[in-house]
Amino acid sequence: MQQDGAPPHFRLDVRCWLNDILPHRWIGRGAHEDLMFCPWPARSPDLTPCYYFLWGYVKDKVFVPPQSVGIPDLKNRITAAVETITPDLLSRVWQELDYRLDVCRVTKGAYIEHL
């Protein structure tokens, strides 16, 4: 899982696997010899479902009155929030990701104000 602000993985063995299995069909950090569809835009949280969906969704479910009274309660609230994510909701998240990737492809990774 990608941590807050951490760059995407760049391991050589992962890139070699992607080049073999998905040549010219993967988006990521790469080197000149890699067979990417296009490079992953630097620091692009708008393309990461955890940023544009999950953190806000969980926060909206967890931080409602009455506030949690300790770590065990907070963990229970987080678990309960994640358990409310339905297959239909995930489908809509993936549709949004598809849209964002299309915008990224069309603009060739340029900065996009409205996302």
How confident is the model at residue 72, as a pLDDT?
A: 92
Domain match, 30 and 73 both: no
Domain match, 60 and 71 both: yes
Report d(CA 15, CA 29) in Å as an integer.
9
Instruction: Spell out, as residue ranges, where the chain has pLDDT lower than 50.
Output: 1-2
Domain match, 50 and 11 both: no
Question: Residue 24 sits in which domain range?
Answer: 1-40
Domain match, 12 and 56 both: no
Domain match, 13 and 55 both: no
Domain match, 82 and 109 both: yes
Per-residue pLDDT reduced to its tens digit, 30-63: 788 898 877 776 655 566 677 778 888 888 999 8
Domain match, 64 and 115 both: yes
Q: 55 — phi, psi (to 5°)?
A: -60, -45
Domain match, 112 and 58 both: yes
Indicate whether this model's pTM tops 0.85: no
Q: Where are the alpha helices (DSSP H) in 1-115?
A: 12-21, 49, 55-62, 71-83, 87-106
Domain match, 54 and 82 both: yes
Structural domains of the chain, count = 2
Strand partners, 27: 38
How confident is the model at residue 55, as a pLDDT?
A: 83
Domain match, 67 and 109 both: yes
Check residue 112 and report its DSSP letter: -
Domain match, 10 and 51 both: no
Q: Which residue has the tokens 């340029």?
A: 110
Domain match, 54 and 87 both: yes
